[in-house]
Chains A and B, each alone.
Chain A
Amino acid sequence: MTANPASKQSLFALTAGLAPMLIAATDLASGLALSGAFLCVFTVASAMPLLLPKRFKARNLSMITLGFAAILLSLYSSILRILDPMLFELLYRRLFIVLFLTPVVAAARAPASESERDRGWEELIRGAVMSLLILGMGFIRELLATGAISLVQNESSIARPFLPIMAQPAGAFMLLALGSALTLSIIRLAKRSSV
């Protein structure tokens, strides 16, 4: 509750801000849908401040950007409804959480300097990596919860629980904790080997 989107975001802070989406991705299908929604919204949120004229005030710029992102997300959810109505019914409440995530709110700010404006492409790459993280989370959670992967829910995948806790929010937090610890240890090892 003390996160400030106006401050410089570290990788871990952004991952923590992404936690609601990572918790919501309970299986591969939902992970795919949510990662697509995140990619669309984040791309718009990071690209619009660079494309809009500089005469807009910072607060208005953020509101306009998030407004466009909300419209695009509504279109995405409509397409999802046509492609897979069952998945849409399961996900439509979680889809719009994307607009409230810290990385999206942070990306919707006006660039503070010209150098930040020139490095806007880094934001797009960051968005792609985060959407892959959401997809990967759904993949791993379904694999650990049921022992199998399926894009279509069927009875056989539900009837063979492996680690059912992984389908719950508690399991997602545990995976995040283990993943963060592993990432920290890899970063420390890399720093030690480069010294």
Chain B
Amino acid sequence: MSVFSVAFYFVFAGNLLTNWGVLPGADDDTDQGRPWFPIVLFVGLAIPAAVAEFIVFRSLLMPLGLESLSPISFALILFLLYYVAAVLTKALSGRTLSVLSDSSHALPLSLALYAAALASTAAVNSLLLVIASTASAALGFAAASIFLKDILDRIALEKLPENLKGQPVRFMSAALMALAFSGIDAAFFSRLVV
């Protein structure tokens, strides 16, 4: 990610999450019931995982010529941090962790998807840029998930042809979101020289 795209996703995701009441600070929250703690936890786990993976990549994977194992190492570190956080939460407060959903499997799968998404982006050489990229990607990922969920809730109120209900309209909504972001990237960020 370039510096400008990192900044954009920080501003966009932060703005979206604040306006949607997930982060505190909005004048009129759309839904008071949205918890902000899980988002902070999600981003909070991703950043140290990215730093640890950066160190592991530089000190272990690169000297041994195992750069292709970077996605696995990142995912393992992320899952390890999640289970440590879950065990600590359970031990200290007696509560279980749940992020963005009531399903107990949502966060591990979310972390797995996030690991895969991060692994697909270009490698960066600066630790500060790694931290910024990770935080912005985590915030953007969380925002996009909430955004898509609310789009689908709104679409459920519309009259759609039977064959478009369910998976087809979900894929089409994701396609339009991806089109918007790739358009912004192509029309704006790729023209800026860092």
Distance between Cα atoms of A93 and B121 in the complex (Å): 8
B106 touches A173 (CB 8 A): no
Q: Give the segment of B6-14, B46-54, B164-172 that binds chain A.
A: B164-172
Chain A residues with Cβ below 8 Å from B72 are 70, 96, 99
In the complex, which of the residues A6, A16, A93 contacts B119, with contact meaning CB atoms closer than 8 Å?
A93
In the complex, residue of chain B having the shortest beta-carbon distance to the beta carbon of A89: B68
In the complex, which of the residues B71, B110, B176, B182 contacts A96, with contact meaning CB atoms closer than 8 Å?
B71
Among A92, A105, A177, find the residue whose CB has the most chain B CB atoms closer than 10 A: A177
B112 touches A100 (CB 8 A): yes
* Residue B32 interfacial (CB < 8 Å): no
> What is the number of residues of chain B that contact chain A, defined by CB distance less than 8 Å?
37
> What is the number of residues of chain A that contact chain B, defined by CB distance less than 8 Å?
41
The number of A-B residue pairs with CB atoms under 8 Å apart is 108
- Seen from chain A, the residues whose Cβ lies within 8 Å of a Cβ on chain B are 1-6, 12, 15-16, 19-20, 24, 70, 74, 77, 92-97, 99-100, 102, 105, 165, 168-174, 176-178, 180-181, 184-185, 188
- Seen from chain B, the residues whose Cβ lies within 8 Å of a Cβ on chain A are 67-72, 75, 100-101, 103, 105-106, 109-110, 112-113, 115-116, 119-120, 145, 162-164, 166-172, 174-176, 178-179, 182
Distance between Cα atoms of A99 and B67 in the complex (Å): 17
Chain B residues with Cβ below 8 Å from A174 are 171-172, 175
Main secondary structure of the interface of B (DSSP, over half): helix
Closest CB of chain A to B136's CB: distance in Å?
18
Closest CB of chain A to B117's CB: distance in Å?
8
B163 touches A97 (CB 8 A): no
Distance between Cα atoms of A24 and B172 in the complex (Å): 17
Chain B residues with Cβ below 8 Å from A20 are 113, 116
